Amino acid sequence: AQSVTQLGSHVSVSEGALVLLRCNYSSSVPPYLFWYVQYPNQGLQLLLKYTSAATLVKGINGFEAEFKKSETSFHLTKPSAHMSDAAEYFCAVSETSGNTPLVFGKGTRLSVIA
Amino acid sequence: GAVVSQHPSRVICKSGTSVKIECRSLDFQATTMFWYRQFPKQSLMLMATSNEGSKATYEQGVEKDKFLINHASLTLSTLTVTSAHPEDSSFYICSASEPGLNYGYTFGSGTRLTVV
Q: If you average pLDDT over residues A20-30, what whole number do you get?
A: 92
The nearest alpha carbon in chain B to A6 belongs to: B43
Q: CB distance A106–B43 less than 8 Å?
A: yes
pLDDT range class, residue A42, cuts 50, 70, 90:
confident
- Which of A41, A49, A99 comes nearest B104 by C-beta? A49
Question: How close A90 comes to chain B (CA, Å)?
Answer: 8
Give the torsion through C-alpha atoms of B49, A95, A3, B113, to 10 deg.
Answer: -30
Q: CB distance A102–B6 less than 8 Å?
A: no
pLDDT at A104: 94
Which residues share a beta bridge with B44? B38
Read off the pLDDT of residues A59-111 as tens digits, 9 standing for 90 and up.
999 999 999 999 999 999 999 999 999 999 999 998 876 678 899 999 999 99
| Integer Cα distance of A7 and A89 in angstroms | 12
Residues of B within 8 A of A102 (CB-CB) are 34, 44, 95, 105
Q: How far is residue B48 CA from its own chain's centroid?
A: 8
Give chain A's mean pLDDT. Answer: 92
CB-based burial label for B26 (10 Å; 0-12, 13-18, 19+)? exposed
In Å, the largest CA–CA distance within chain A is: 42
Q: CB distance B103–A98 less than 8 Å?
A: yes
Number of H helices, E strands in chain B: 0, 11
Question: How close A92 comes to chain B (CA, Å)?
Answer: 10
Q: Which of the residue ranges A17-21, A22-26, A70-74, A96-100 would you say has the lowest mean pLDDT?
A: A96-100
What is the full per-residue pLDDT of chain B (116 aa) written as tens digits?
A: 778 999 999 999 999 999 999 999 998 888 889 999 998 888 999 999 998 888 899 999 999 999 999 988 889 999 999 999 999 999 999 999 876 656 678 899 999 999 99
Q: Is A28 within 8 Å of A44 (Cβ atoms)?
A: no
pLDDT at B99: 65
Residues in A whose CB is inside 8 Å of some CB of B read 32, 34, 36, 41-46, 49, 51, 90, 94, 97-99, 101-107, 109
Number of Cα atoms under 13 Å in the Cβ half of residue B85: 2
| Integer Cα distance of A36 and B112 in angstroms | 19
Q: How far is residue A40 CA from its own chain's centroid?
A: 17
Three-state DSSP state, A60: helix
| Integer Cα distance of B94 and B86 in angstroms | 21
Bigger pLDDT: B14 vs A28: B14
The nearest alpha carbon in chain A to B51 belongs to: A99
Question: How close B16 comes to chain A (CA, Å)?
Answer: 25
Residue B36: name the closest of A7, A38, A61 by CA: A38
User: If you count residue pairs, one on A and one on B, with CB atoms under 8 Å apart, how many are there?
Assistant: 58
| Integer Cα distance of B64 and B99 in angstroms | 27
pLDDT at A51: 84
